[in-house]
Structure 1
Amino acid sequence: MLIENSSLSGADVSHANMPAGAKPVNLDTGIALAKTGLLGLQNPAGYWVFELEADCTIPAEYILMMHYMAEIDTSLQAKIANFLRSQAGADGSYPLYKGGPGDLSCTIKAYYALKMAGDGMDAAHMQKAREWILMHGGAAKANVFTRIMLAMFQQIPWCGVPFIPVEIILLPKWFPFHIDKVSYWSRTVMVPLSILCTYRVKARNPHKIDIAELFLIQADQEKHYFSHVKTPLGKAILVLDRIGRLLEPMLPSFIRRKATARATDWFMARLNGYDGLGAIFTAMVNAYEAMDYLGIPLDNPQRQIARAAIDKLLVVKDDTAYCQPCVSPIWDTGLAVLALQEADSQEHDPQSLQATQSALRWLANKQLSDEPGDWRVQRPDLAGGGWAFQFGNSYYPDVDDTAVVAYAMLQAQTPEFTENIRRAANWIAGMQSRNGGYGAFDADNDHYYLNQIPFADHGALLDPPTADVSARCIMLLGKLDMPQYRPVIDRCLAYLRAEQDIDGSWFGRWGTNYIYGTWSVLLGFAAAGIPANDTSVRRAVTWLKSKQRADGGWGEGNIGYHDSSIRGEFDCSTAFHTALAVMALLAAKETDCPEVADGVNYLLKNQQADGFWYDDCFNAPGFPKFFYLKYHGYDKFFPLWALARYSNALKFR
């Protein structure tokens, strides 16, 4: 073994090939350094929140929104344009995650945004982007959301986008499509968008910027906007789409008025103050633009707050700026507390204890109770008790966040949070889906046929149960060890066993990817009392060990979402994935194995002088295959958590 706990030996770790700026440390020193760094980032109110970066679609859409509304901040636009230029690939395209292949829709939006910001068509970066777009089929081949934007800017005809009549809000619950049958993010985006599409709203576009040069065939002559629809069900729905368009003029006007009023009431009731509709960028922008179309005046307080909510997502620096898709304070705070609790489980450092107590009290005040929530459609008799992902999102508490926060409160071992934990556990138990698993926001949100409708070309219309969320639910319920939760745990364990892949890994829906999923489940199994010699655990351990890289670390790229044969592999190790793998192996009682020692060595060798680690890669999907994220906190609190857990495992083996 290369590493020894410094409290036992005082030994330093070898730091061959140490990166510039790194500081040689031993295990205890590394933990202390990381802990100090993390404590220094806590907000005085008690929470942590780190940047949440997405691909260039979101900042490009911010510029497009300014031109849609003719509300152009030229200084901010210039900073966002600087950011966009800096993110282009060598071939001129824009990827969905760093190091990934270019994405057509993202590149189209970035190109259009830069052209609106004043970049000339003859600029070298614009030429490269344009050539790449044309080489990949041109703007007519963009995804549905991009084509809807192009229709609003009058770059393509409305027949080039799916038929999204506002009357969908009136459909009965028994109908094959109903707004409650899709995920929370889908319904918050779709309802205001249905108003914009129904009335074929036109962007103001004050400078009349067009992108006709991005089409291989003139946009109004293009006949193949839906060539991506291949399945029999998808083609049948396209026929219904055409019939709907033909019948639309015969629709009684009072029905349209009724539908518009109901859709308006629906999203206005969920505007969510300064946190915005659904607390996600796309829904917030759609709501803001719909409010404008509906004639809500500029000085209306709700409209002003809706715009302020969008601007709160901006990350503005000296020369660049970008827009986040949402913010993650509940998630970041819960995970930071877990890392600090692990680091202080023996020392009881007063500063750290004060920090975690402050964080938990802040979180306690954010717990949702019996406010209206869309989840009540599935569980009308269930009392509230969840937490959202963002600062505020009262209609949409998140099962995953709730499990993490309640688990952190449970580990605090103080009566102060007993009621918070009880309410959270009861809510989680009540949100279990029929198959034993858990979705992120809804129960039984698994009407998979809806992913075949033309609007759903991103394949992410639903919120079905996933292994990673389910595992954290049994992590909490198993830790509580109360008999009333045993049937829930057993059903969830059966679901997780069925979800294990043949190679021993688990898919990671909300983190990249199989390493994240396998870490989630092994921690959940351990909390639920599954022994380390269990067959499923041993298969997972074998898989994890097989994915360790020569430098002792682990790494995984998002390519695995596109090609499932590439699992747990990347072109380099990352602190994030190494931390997950180390914790997963420790949960399986592999404390003394050389793979764990080498993984800890990797973390210590790559720790920087400020106590942190810096992974450049995107580390989570928003929607697998279509939208990816970089949680800027993951390379800060996960490695600390892993090092501290290893240190504690050495002391008590």
Structure 2
Amino acid sequence: MLKETSSLSGSKQDFTGTLVSSAKLDSAIVRASAQLLALQNEEGYWVFELEADCTIPSEYILMMHYMDEINEALQAKIANYLRAQQGADGSYALFKGGAGDISCTIKAYYAMKMAGDSVQAVHMVKAREWILARGGAAKANVFTRIMLAMFEQIPWRGVPFIPVEIMLLPKWFPFHIDKVSYWSRTVIVPLSILCTYKVKARNPHKIGIGELFVTPPDKEKNYFSYVKTPLGKAILAGERLLRLLEPLIPAFVRRKATVKARDWFMARLNGYYGLGGIFTAMVNAYEAMDYLGLPPDNERRRIARAAIDRLLVIKEDIAYCQPCVSPVWDTGLAALALQEVDRNERDPRTQQALKSALRWLAGKQLKDEAGDWQIQRPSLPGGGWAFQFGNSYYPDADDTAVVAFAMVQAGDREYAGNIERAGAWIAGMQSRNGGYGAYDADNIHDYLNQLPFADHEALIDPPTADVSGRSIMLLGKLLNRHPEYRATIDKCIDYLRSQQETDGSWFGRWGTNYIYGTWSVLTGFESAGVPRDDPGIRKAVAWIKSKQRPDGGWGEDNYSYSYPKFRSQFHTSTAFHTALALLALLSAGEADCLEVESGVNYLLTNQQADGFWEDDGSNAPGFPKVFYLKYHGYDKFFPLWALGRYRHERKRLFLF
């Protein structure tokens, strides 16, 4: 009999209290599994599209005009994509259903103008009027203003001072390249060359956007009006002084710094996978290589451009550029979903797919390569996995935990060495406060987010609840063989207890948002052996149940990053969030409650004819409040994973 609770936020009469038939559940799992298996690459991996907002495809067009390497056919397809994403008010949002963002709208407008759109076209007029009503292009964020300076649309005094001499600063200095996150390092180092030498875009058609400024750019005095804090204002004053003193920098010092910056990013170019595996860093490096005189036929420059083009998604009428690709992450999560549904069935096709996936993943583990994680942990050898096809300097805890967890569950001695190295690497990457950052340990210099350059407030990579939960998910699985991990796990649990919100949820840094964070932690707690009657777990369970919607599902949008009061209560249900809520409740021992049954019914009701689910909108932040993502795989493997876990728990409880 189902256990009924009274914590439902929706109309309880809308929920079904009838058990799902095993035949209906099995049919749904078979159809979804077949579709997922069909999408596996012959090499063994899965990779789904990773879509961001319109800044990235706009920047791709801008890059083509910066370099005078314009592919007209591709540009036309990207412009089609941009027009289709415009909001009714003329603006461009950072996520579907979100408010318009001035920087994104400026870049989209500029890109469409470069693609040949008339400034008198209705969509251009609407975008321009929207921008002007909000103060004009001078109000753009730092990265947009740097682009405008390169295209000679604003003076260089309108951007933060980023001299290449930062490469020569000692490690004890308040700012050092090693003190910022991996994504910041890979972006800033080549960017410092471009900014120092005040590069100019080729811009062959001499296209400008002077019509987007309220005050003429040369007369604008409020480029830094966003700097509000005393520390930020002090740093800004210091930057202005340094800019005045810049002519006094000896030429040999500038040359030395430039060489060091060049050598740093050239060493990390990462072949056909690109600097850091991320679009912005890759473009900065490519443009810096051009400035530094590497000719177009130089092999490393040619490969750098090819790496950027590998991020393109090109369809019949539209095209867009991804910020990065996620094959290791997608493959690890898809493997966990298939392991769950095949826990007892042992389907030959699924077993072969899993073997192929895990062998592919095993070959992607970073072993003895030098990596930037050794900045904080100089004696820690390799053992992690990166997010992308290749990113040897930058493995991350999230991917490492997921992949190694799948290998542990496979129970195959073939992966024993991979698992051992991964466990040691995860344990060694713990920060002093007990938590885990994504790519670095103890990357916690909060004051750096006060730099005028850091208006996105994402210059560092501090520990987060979601990554920490996943890290102890793996270490908990290894305790039988490694009891020495107990102290590491306990320290992380203490950290997670300190991070729990007063309502019982946890913040999700790398997925939207509180539902994602709470799922991450409860999954980690289950693996680490935290009792299910633990007060923190019971409080989290009550929170999840309270957020269920009348249709039985759960949903949350990215407004919850800016406004915590929107913690999943004002959004329509999605298959992704419903799956996460179910997995969280099942980890907490709630298989026999009404909320779980209703959530399963939601997934079964909303499954498409092809076996998959389809959610509309972003489901993860790149950077909270400023950059969001849509993982196209999340509404495919997470619901399957939840249904598989539910089926296993119901059978275990003899309810089928």
* Fold match by TM threshold 0.5: yes
CA contact (8 A) 1:507 1:518 kept: yes
Counterpart of 1:337?
335
State the Cα distance separating 1:175 from its structure 2 match.
0.2
Partner AA of 2:574 in structure 1:
T
Cα shift at 1:5: 5.8
Q: Which residue of 2 aligns with 1:419?
A: 417
Shift of 1:522: 0.5
Structure 1 SS opposite 2:566: coil
Paired amino acid for 2:456: H
Q: CA deviation at 1:3?
A: 5.2
Partner SS for 1:517 = helix
Q: Determine the structure 1 residue equivalent to 2:529.
A: 529
CA contact (8 A) 1:557 1:569 kept: no
Supply the AA of the counterpart residue of 2:179.
K
Q: Which runs of structure 2 are paired with 1:413-452 in the superposition (5 Å)?
A: 413-452=411-450
Select which of 131, 147, 163 maps to 2:129. 131
Cα distance in 1 between the residues matched to 2:198 and 2:469: 44
Q: In structure 2, what is the equivalent of residue 359 of structure 1?
A: 357
Q: Judge conservation of contact 1:541–1:585 (CA < 8 Å) in 2.
A: yes
DSSP-derived class of the 2:494 partner: helix
Do the aligned residues in 1 keep the contact of 2:20 with 2:601 (CA within 8 Å)?
no
Per-residue deviation, 1:571: 2.7
Q: SS of the residue aligned with 2:87?
A: coil
Structure 1 position 565, deviation (Å): 1.6
Q: 1:3, 1:601 within 8 Å by CA — same for their partners in 2?
A: no
Contact 2:20 2:597 in 1 (8 A): no
Alignment counterpart, residue 185 of structure 1, candidates 183, 192, 208: 183
For the pair 1:506 / 2:516, whether they are aligned, the reply is no
Structure 2 equivalent of residue 453 of structure 1: 451
Residue aligning to 1:349: 347
Q: Quick check: 1:399–1:440 contact (8 Å CA) kept in 2?
A: yes
The amino acid of 1:69's aligned partner reads: M
Alignment partners' CA distance in 2, 1:30 and 1:463: 39
Deviation digits for residues 191-216 of structure 1, max 9, x if unmatched?
A: 00000000000000000000000000
- 2:157 counterpart residue number: 159
Percent pairwise identity: 73
Q: 2:249 aligns with which of 248, 251, 272?
A: 251
Match of 1:66 in 2: 64
1:105 aligned residue (96, 103, 122): 103
Q: Summarize the alignment of residues 378-397 of structure 1 with structure 2, pairs less than 5 Å apart.
A: 378-397=376-395
Q: Tell me the equivalent position of 1:273.
A: 271
Deviation of 1:569 after TM superposition, in Å, equals 2.7
State the distance in 1 between where 2:549 and 2:486 align.
39
Measured in 1, the distance between the counterparts of 2:118 and 2:312 equals 26
Q: Which residue of 2 aligns with 1:409?
A: 407
Instruction: Show structure 1 runs of 5+ residues with no match.
Output: 11-25
The DSSP-based 3-state class of the residue aligned with 2:629 is strand
- Cα distance in 1 for residues equivalent to 2:565 and 2:604: 31
Aligned residues of 1:503 and 1:543 also touching (Cα < 8 A): yes
Q: Would you say 1:237 and 2:235 are equivalent positions?
A: yes
**Equivalent residue for 1:81?**
79
C-alpha separation in 1, matches of 2:484 and 2:190 = 42
Matching of residue 470 in structure 1 with residue 468 in structure 2: yes
**Aligned AA (2:78):** I
Distance 1:89 1:626 in 2: 17
**1:542 corresponds to:** 542
Q: Is the 8 A contact 1:5 1:650 kept in 2?
A: no
Query: Is residue 517 of structure 1 aligned with residue 517 of structure 2?
Result: yes
Letter in 2 for 1:591: A
CA distance, structure 2, for counterparts of residue 457 and residue 5 of structure 1:
50
Aligned amino acid, residue 51 of structure 1: E
**Aligned counterpart, 1:23:** none
Match in the other structure for 1:221: 219
What SS is found at the alignment partner of 1:266? helix
Contact kept? 2:553, 2:575, Cα under 8 Å: yes
1:596 partnered with 2:596: yes
Instruction: Name the CA distance, whole Å, in 2 between partners of 1:522 and 1:360.
Output: 25
Q: Secondary structure at the match of 1:565?
A: helix
Q: For residues 149 and 569 of structure 1, what CA distance do their matches in structure 2 show?
A: 38
The match for 1:282 is: 280
* Consecutive unaligned residues in structure 2, runs of 5 or more: 3-16
SS in 1 for 2:218: helix
**Counterpart residue identity of residue 130, structure 2:** W
Q: Distance between the aligned counterparts of 1:342 and 1:365, measured in 2? A: 23
Q: How far apart are residue 383 of structure 1 and its match?
A: 1.4
Task: Find the aligned partners of 1:275 and 1:563 in 2 and give their Cα distance.
Answer: 36
RMSD: 0.7
The one-letter code of the counterpart of 1:639 is P
CA contact (8 A) 1:48 1:336 kept: yes
| Offset, 1:570 | 3.9
Correspondences of 1:535-614 after superposition (within 5 Å): 535-614=535-614
Task: Give the Cα separation in 1 of the matches to 2:617 and 2:116.
Answer: 30
